[in-house]
Amino acid sequence: MTKFRATAATAALLCFTAFGASPASADGEVNVYTYRETKLIQPLFDAFTKDTGIKVNVVSASSGLEQRMKAEGANSPADVLLTVDLGRLDDAVKADVTQPIKSVVIDEIVPAQYRDPDGHWAGISMRARVIYASKERVKQDKITYEELADPKWKGKICIRSGQHIYNNGLFAAYVAKHGEAKAEEWLKGVKANLAQKPSGGDREAARDVAAGKCDIGIGNTYYWALMMNNDPEKKPWAEATKVILPTFEGGGTHVNLSGVLLAKNAPNKANGVKLIEWLAGEKAQQIYADSNYEYPIRAGVAVNPTIAGYGKLTADPTPIAKIVTNRKAASTLVDKVGFDN
């Protein structure tokens, strides 16, 4: 299988390198652009190829894939785009590089709240935005997102940049639930409770809680599991913290999506749809659960034991499409309150 790390600046070169000088379709191949690190999803592609005989060619990048597809236009070799956040799904649709996924399989398996109303994207797995709390200093085991603005947490919260896509998703969900005015006041309250300037990533939030710099950090569910099970160096950070599944008042826990889109000019469209449908199948969903520590989108697939140890997830029912429409408002509010300053 061909593997690449790509950026928008190297798009033209990799277009020729990864898929050949011509993006002509191939009966036994499918071309995937992905924001997931290839090593994290390699088991999925290997299993798909074993089941179907279809070879998966991969270009992996941390940013710029929608722009690359747009620049490639009708000559783009991309068949499928895999994302790690609702923001990337929205960006791809706005860039006009996708087409509706017309699949009865996807419509039956993926709940409507995790699908684009116009069919351009579908969730493949879920991750929740949760609390990494100090085992030593935080006695409570329940918390609401609204409570993060309570003065009792003054100087006790660590978080990455408010403009990061994961926080943008959470903040957009807050806007969707409560409106912009209340979201602004909430962000002011959360900012007032920060122990330090927003920085680093989710793992660093756990690190700083373990070091006593703050009592709670905000992170995605899978990072804690990765630290605990796959990273001996960072395992002490996980061991010093516990995961609390927060909820909105009167709602559930905010979830984000790993999603999939069908490229507008997919040269191997039929194989692209096959891959998308396969990713929603039981085998792929179990791989997502056990390899990536994410929540399966498909009902009836077992959650990984480490993730299950957090407690039962009751996902907030707000449709992802509604959250998407509030992304810009959330970003504007972050700047307005000087959240990252």
256-296 confidence digits (pLDDT tens): 999 999 999 999 999 999 999 999 999 999 999 998 899 99
In this model, does residue 25 exceed pLDDT 70?
no
Q: What is the mean pLDDT of residues 136-143?
A: 96
Give the pLDDT of residue 11.
Answer: 39
Confidence of residue 225 (pLDDT cuts 50, 70, 90): very high
Sequence-distant (6+) residues with CB within 8 A of 185 are 149
* HSE-CB of 330 using CA atoms within 13 angstroms: 25
Tell me, what's the pLDDT at 304? 97
What average pLDDT does range 192-209 have in this prediction? 97
CA distances to 125, 129, 229 from 90, rounded to whole Å, are 16, 19, 32
pLDDT score of 18 more than 70: no
Taking only the tens place, the pLDDT of each residue in 63-114 is 999 999 999 999 999 999 999 999 999 999 999 999 999 999 999 999 999 9
Q: How confident is the model at residue 211 (pLDDT cuts 50, 70, 90)?
A: very high
Q: What is the CATH number of domain 127-253+313-336?
A: 3.40.190.10
pLDDT at 57 over 60: yes
Average pLDDT (206-223) is 98
Lowest mean pLDDT among 33-47, 133-147, 206-220, 225-239: 33-47
Facing residues of 129 across strands?
A: 220
For position 40, what pLDDT does the model report? 79
Please tell me which residue, 248 or 2, carries the higher pLDDT value: 248
Which neighbouring-strand residues pair with 282? none
Residue 49 has pLDDT above 60, yes or no: yes
pLDDT at 26: 55
**Boundaries of every domain in the chain:** 5-125+257-302, 127-253+313-336
Region 201-229 average pLDDT: 97
> How confident is the model over 201-226, as a mean pLDDT?
97
Q: Do domains 5-125+257-302 and 127-253+313-336 have the same CATH topology?
A: yes
The pLDDT of residue 37 is 81
Return the structure tokens found at 67: 């722009």
Q: What does the pLDDT read at residue 41?
A: 86
Decide if pLDDT at 20 tops 50.
Answer: no
Distance separating alpha carbons of residues 136 and 215, to the nearest angstrom: 9
Q: What does the pLDDT read at residue 38?
A: 79
Does residue 23 register a pLDDT over 60?
Answer: no
Q: Cβ(234)–Cβ(227) under 8 Å?
A: yes
Is residue 232 predicted with pLDDT exceeding 80? yes
| Those residues with Cβ within 8 angstroms of residue 192's Cβ, 6 or more apart along the chain or in another chain | 149, 151, 154
CATH hierarchy code of domain 5-125+257-302: 3.40.190.10
Q: Is 139 exposed, middle or buried (0-12, 13-18, 19+ CB in 10 A)?
A: exposed
Residue 24 is predicted with a pLDDT of 38
Q: What is the mean pLDDT of the chain?
A: 92
* Global pTM exceeds 0.85: yes
| Per-residue pLDDT at 27 | 72
Taking 50 as the threshold, does the pLDDT of residue 59 lie above it? Answer: yes
Give the pLDDT score at 9: 36
pLDDT at 14: 42
